[in-house]
Chain A
C-alpha cells in the first residue's frame, strides 16, 4: 500500500499535459516589472531609484523585517520608475520597472553548469545566504525560506521533508525540475539538512511521476540520509499537514506549525534555489513555471525572469486560445483567477492555466441534499456543509468551535459537492471574520 495522508482526499483528473515537455528558456522581455511584495510578510523596501543602472542579480529591494524577503533584479538595464501597478488580483502594488539592456550578470554569480557537491558553508552562513538570496517557498505559499530554517528555541527539528508532490492537476514544473536538475535538488536538500542540523530527509513524490521517482531514487544513493518516498496520487497530498501525515505518520495539532512534530517542509523548487544561492551565489530572480490548458497549442514548461509579463508566457506557448474563459495563476484547485494578462510573473508563479469557457462557468448551486460527501473528502475532518450554513448565518462563535480556522482552503469540498454549493467561498468569508475576532481578543 502506498503511503498517503490520514483523512479525506479526492482524485481530480490529473491533466498533466506538459509533463514530457523539457524546460525551455523564455526570452528576456524589453521591460520587467518586479513587485516589492512577492512573499508572505512585510513588503521589501526599494533601494534603487529612477535612472539607476542595475545588473542581473543585483539587490533592488531590501527585506524589511524578520518575515520578509530581498528582491533582486532579474535583468540588466536602467530603472525606469518605481511605481504602483496593477497586480494579478487587481490591487495596486509598488513595483520596480526596469528597461532591459543586454544581459549583464553580477560578477559574484558562478554561471557555470558544473555541479558543486561539496558544501563548504556552515550552518549560520547557509541561512544567511538563503536570506540574502531572497528565497521563498516556491510551491506557491511564498513563505520566506530562511524563517522556516530558524528553529524557535525549545523546539528541535528531526526531519526535513521535501515537497515534490505536485498534487495540483495540470502543473508539471516540479516534475521537470526533478528530471532535469535531480543532482542540484539533492545537493540543495543536503544544504537544507545541514542548516537544520538533521541527518534525515524525505522527498515525497506522488506516484503519477514514476520517472522522477526512479531518477531521484537512483541519484539518492550518492547522498547520505535522503529517502525518496513514493506517495499515492491523492489531492491534497502536497498540503503541508497532509504531506507530514503521509510521510512520517504524525498529525500537527490544530493551530500548530510543522516544527511541533519535529518536521520542516520545503518545496523541491526551493531546494534547487537553495543550491544555486549557496553553491553558485545566485539570488532568486528566475524560476520554472508551467503554461497549460486543454485548448492551448503548446502546453510546456519555461524558465522565466521574474517580472516578465504573463502575456509573454502565453505567447510562447502559442497564444491565448479563443475559448479561454478563465486564466488561473497556479493550479485549478488552489490557484487564483487573474483579471488580466498584463501582470508580471513573480516568485510564486508555479504555473498558468487557461481554462476553456465551458469549464470555467460554475454550475447553478442547488439545495444541500445532505449526502455527506463534503464531510468525507475534507482532509481536515471538518463539516463543510455546516460551516457554509454557519458562515451564511454569521454564527461566528459556532464557526470557531467547529474549527473553521483548521480549513486549509484546499477546495476538495466545493469540488465534490453534487449540489454545486460554493462551500469554500463561504468558508473563506467565515475564516476571515473569525480570524479578525480571534486577533482582536489577544
Chain B
C-alpha cells in the first residue's frame, strides 16, 4: 500500500463545531443590541464598548502570559464576549478609568484566578459589574437618557431607570397606577426608549439575539424560558394580589437588565448547569431572586445579583441534578 493510513477509535467524523464558532456566534447575536446602544447613546456607547473590549483582551493577554505563564488563548473569542457584556452592563457615560477597573476585575478576578475559560465559577462580566456597582455607586447609576447619536459623552443628560422610578415612588407611598404615568409605555420599553445600562434597554434587539442563538443551537431554550417564565409568574401573582403595590409581569420583563441577563449572561456556558433539568432549576432560581430583590430588596435591580448567587449553586446543581437516564422509571 502506498499511503500510510491513520488508525484511531470511532467516531471518525466530527460535527465541525468549535469553541470559536460558538463564541463568535454569541458575539454576532449581541450585534443588534450593540447597534441599538450606539444609536441611543451615541459616542458614549462607542467609547465605552471599545474601552471595555480592548482592556479585556489586554488584561487576559498580560495575565496569562506574565502571571500564569501560559500561551495566551485570546483568540477563542471569550474575552470579546466579556468585554461587550461588561460594556452592556454599565451606563454609556461611565468614565474610562472606571471601565478599566471593571475589566481588570472581570478578567483578573472573575476569570483568570480560576484558571481561565472553562474553570470560572462566576460570570466574569457580572463580577466586574457588581464590583463597580458597589465601589462607584454614583457613577454606575447615573444613566444617560437615550437621546440619539448626538448625545455628548461627558455632560450627557441623565435620568433614572423605570425600575428606580417605581421603587422610589412606592417608598413614598404613591400608588402604582399614578407612577405608571411617569414611565414609558410597553412599546417604548420594548424598543429601548428608557434610561438604563448600555446594552439592556432595547428588548427587541436582545430577543433577536436570542432567536439567532436558538436557531444556531448555540444555546437551548431552557435557561431563558425558565428565568423569564418564573419572573412572569411570580410578579404576576404579586401584581394580582395588590395591583397598586406591585408592577405587572410585562413591566418586570421589559425593564432593567432582565432580558440581557436571561439571554446573554445566565446562559454563559461555563457558569450554568450542564443538564436540562439543572438549567431549569437554575433559571427558576434566578427568576425568583430577581423579583425578590427588585420588590423587597434595597436595590431597584436584582438580575446581576440573582445570576451571581445562582452561579455559586451551579457546582451543587451539577452534582445532585443528573439528566434523565435512558430506561430510568419515569416518576
Report which A residues bind B (CB closer than 8 A).
6-7, 10, 12-13, 90, 169, 241, 245, 251-254, 256, 320, 322, 324-328, 332-342, 353, 355, 357, 359-363, 366-373, 375-376, 378-383, 385-386, 402-403, 406, 409, 411-412, 414-420, 424-425, 428
Contact = CB atoms under 8 A, between A and B. Distances in A.
B273 A169 contact: no
A325 B3 CA distance: 8
Contacts of A341: 1
A6 B10 contact: no
17 contacts: A7-B326, A324-B5, A325-B5, A326-B12, A336-B10, A337-B12, A366-B76, A370-B118, A373-B17, A386-B274, A402-B322, A409-B10, A416-B15, A418-B21, A424-B11, A425-B9, A428-B9
B19 A383 contact: no
Contacts of B11: 332-334, 411-412, 414-415, 424
B211 to A, nearest CB: 19
User: Which 10 pairs across A and B sit closest by C-beta, in order of nearness?
Assistant: A411-B11, A381-B325, A371-B269, A372-B274, A418-B17, A332-B13, A251-B327, A380-B326, A253-B327, A337-B7
Nearest to A417: B17
- Secondary structure at the A interface, as helix, strand, loop or mixed, is loop
Nearest to B319: A386
A92 to B, nearest CB: 17
B322 A363 contact: no
Interface string B83-120: 00000000000000000000000000000000011110
B327 A370 contact: no
Contacts of A414: 11, 14
A3 B121 CA distance: 39
Contacts of A7: 324, 326
B118 A420 contact: no
B51 interface: no
A336 B15 CA distance: 19
Nearest to A367: B118
Given A253-B328, A320-B2, A425-B9, 18 more contacts: A241-B326, A254-B327, A326-B6, A327-B5, A333-B13, A334-B10, A337-B8, A338-B7, A355-B12, A367-B117, A370-B118, A370-B269, A372-B272, A381-B328, A386-B274, A406-B327, A411-B10, A416-B15
B242 interface: no
B19 A363 contact: no
Interface residues of B, number: 41
B325 A254 contact: yes
Contacts of A402: 322
A86 B9 CA distance: 18
Contacts of B325: 254, 380-382, 403, 406
A328 B274 contact: no
A382 B273 CA distance: 14
A110 B140 CA distance: 89
Interface of B: 1-3, 5-15, 17-19, 21-22, 76, 116-119, 220, 269-270, 272-276, 279, 322-329
Contact of A10 (B15, B322, B328): B15
A305 to B, nearest CB: 23
A240 B272 CA distance: 33
B116 to A, nearest CB: 8
B234 to A, nearest CB: 26
A294 to B, nearest CB: 11
Contacts of B10: 328, 332-337, 409, 411, 424
A361 B4 CA distance: 12
B5 A339 contact: yes
Nearest to A378: B323
A361 B324 contact: no
A409 B3 CA distance: 29
A418 B12 contact: no
A275 to B, nearest CB: 31
A252 to B, nearest CB: 5
A20 B7 CA distance: 30
Nearest to B268: A370
A30 to B, nearest CB: 19
A383 B21 contact: no
Contact of A339 (B7, B76, B329): B7
Contacts of A424: 9-11
Given A367-B117, A369-B269, A380-B325, A322 B3 contact: yes
